Amino acid sequence: MFDILYQDNDLIAINKPSGWLVHRSWLDKQQTVVVMQTLRDQIGQHVFPIHRLDRPTSGVLLFALSNDVARLMSEQFNSKQIEKTYHAIVRGYVDGEAVIDYPLIEEIDKIADKFAQRNKPAQDAVTFYRAISKIEIPVSVGKFKTARYSFVELKPKTGRKHQLRRHMKHIFHPILGDSKHGDLHQNRAFTDYFGIKRLMLHASCLALIHPITQQPIVIEAKLDQSWQNMLLNFK
């Protein structure tokens, strides 16, 4: 059963585990256990998607309990009224805080986006990041005798596909466990040392205005125990 973070007559939010698809996809026909159907069975009513988290990302995932509410919430997401906060483990030492303002060309999937328009101009993409803590482990990676990692907070100001993963790669601090945009040697070293094999990206918080009551809501999702145990080593 999912950990329900928030529920009323209009909305429900869960702490999505890493590895779960939000809904069924013809790209992965063999995956029959997905969040939408499982949550529907858990609460005994239909849920309507508002946004999505990539399969390997964990954290706050919000659903509406009616089509009308889903439409209203989608408008909030599309107009950038929702504040999203993520936490990640990245390669190397990150210091201070800064804004990454780096336009991104839309990533086109050869199968899923078969009929999508190619050669679109790069779209505005902005991410705020803040360093929290660091660690150096006695594992040799490439020419380096040790491996360094940072725990960071990320706040996307836009919602481009794989924005956080691509922006952190752009500043040479890719997110650990990212098989597409990351450093495979560092991913392997991290997994061997900490025993954690997943994308180290977690959607920690959503701040929004309730579409019916117009009251502000803040929904937070705790890091799982494997994250918490690992972070005890960070300073």
User: Domain of 118: which CATH number?
Assistant: 3.30.2350.10
pLDDT of residue 30: 58
- Examine the pLDDT at 36 and tell me if it is beyond 50: yes
pLDDT higher than threshold 70 for residue 84: yes
> What is the phi/psi pair of residue 71, to 5°?
-65, -45
Q: What is the pLDDT of residue 39?
A: 95
The answer to which of 74-78, 116-120, 221-225 has the lowest mean pLDDT is 116-120
pLDDT of residue 136: 95
In the prediction, which pLDDT does 108 show?
64
Residue 205's domain spans which residues?
A: 4-231
Query: pLDDT band at 32, cuts 50/70/90?
Result: low
What is the reported pLDDT for 112?
A: 47
Number of domains the chain is built from: 1
pLDDT confidence tier of residue 107, bands split at 50, 70 and 90 = confident
| Cα–Cα distance for residue pair 18/90, rounded to 1 Å | 17
What secondary structure, in 3-state letters, does 175-217 show? ECCCCCCCCHHHHHHHHHHHCCCCCCEEEEEEEEECCCCCCEE
What percentage of residues in the chain have a pLDDT greater than 90?
80
Confidence of residue 114 (pLDDT cuts 50, 70, 90): very low
Instruction: Report percent pLDDT > 70 for the chain.
Output: 91
As a whole number, mean pLDDT of residues 69-98 equals: 94
Mean pLDDT, the chain, rounded, equals: 91
pLDDT confidence tier of residue 26, bands split at 50, 70 and 90: very low
pLDDT score, position 164: 97
Residues identified as active-site = 54
Task: Pick the closest to residue 230 from 100, 129, 122, 133 (CA basis).
Answer: 133
pLDDT bin (cut points 50, 70, 90) of residue 144 is: confident
